[in-house]
Amino acid sequence: MRPERLIVVVGTGTEVGKTWVSCRLLERWRTAGTTVAARKPAQSFEVTHDGRPRELTDAELLAAATGEQVHDVCPAHRWYGVPMAPPMASAALGRGPIGLDDLIDELAWPRGTAIGVVETAGGVRSPIADDGDAADVTRRLEPDAVLLVADAGLGVINAVRSAIDALTTHRVVVLLNRYDAAQELHRRNHDWLANHDGLDVHTTLDSIEQVLRTD
């Protein structure tokens, strides 16, 4: 069962704010009365000496934003307590390979979901399965919208271009996260991507929320 509108959130790399952005958007839509759900096909994370996640995991944060059960967001068997790409973490834990088909098949949605968000792991070309990366997940899901989250600072032009090259089958909307208009580099990065490269680039949640909901 597919949401009325399916959005895939990808990133130019790790720590660019995919989960933070996804949660804030989901909270806004939920507060406005829209039925939302989130899915994280697989997640890996650092653990403490007793095997517990050192911080709240992406699935826990997404579940809090949508009001869902955490293992509906990411199945328990797709939690990998090693801070590596999921297939590498699974191998390190002796749990065997991860198949892309299995990850896709496990994405179950509640009936009546208006907006569903799938958040991938790492960057666009980061492996999420032994036989696929975030770009492969995006192609398989055929979403209504693809949101590429990128840091606004140094290196973003190369990172965004490389990500776009891997997502050629979809129109991508770019969010420059942590954008500060007072910083000349941020302004110039935005202008280059938007005006020189002709990309759909945004710098605020207000702007990106409306585009993702209706575009």
Q: What is the mean pLDDT of residues 65-93?
A: 97
Global confidence as pTM? 0.95
How confident is the model over 25-45, as pLDDT tens digits? Answer: 999 999 999 999 999 999 999
Compute the average pLDDT of residues 99-106: 98
- Rounded percentage of the chain residues whose pLDDT exceeds 90: 92
Residue 18: phi and psi, rounded to 5, are -60, -45
Does residue 51 have a pLDDT over 70?
yes
Confidence of residue 213 (pLDDT cuts 50, 70, 90): confident
| Residue 80 predicted with pLDDT over 70 | yes
Task: Please tell me the predicted confidence (pLDDT) of residue 164.
Answer: 96
Asked if pLDDT for residue 211 goes beyond 70, the answer is yes
Q: What's the fold here for domain 5-214? A: Rossmann fold (3.40.50)
Using the predicted structure, report yes or no on whether residue 214 has a pLDDT greater than 80. no
- pLDDT tens string 130-152: 999 999 999 999 999 999 999 99
Q: Which of 5, 18, 39, 40 is catalytic?
A: 40
Residues present in the chain in total: 215
Q: Would you state the pLDDT for residue 34?
A: 96
Kindly tell me if the per-residue pLDDT of 215 is higher than 70. no
Question: Phi, psi (5° rounding) for residue 51?
Answer: 85, 5
pLDDT band at 62 (very low <50, low <70, confident <90, very high): very high
Nearest to 121 by CA among 6, 10, 7: 10
Q: What is the dihedral of CA 104, 133, 56, 211, to 10 degrees?
A: -80
Of 158, 209, 151, 206, which is closest to residue 183 (Cα–Cα)? Answer: 151
183: alpha, beta or left, given left = phi > 0 and alpha = psi -120 to 50?
A: beta
Domain ranges of the chain: 5-214
pLDDT recorded at residue 168: 84
Cβ neighbors of 115 (< 8 A, separation 6 or more) are 3, 4, 5, 7, 26, 29, 34, 35, 36, 37, 213
40 is a catalytic site residue: yes
Q: Does pLDDT of 120 surpass 80? A: yes
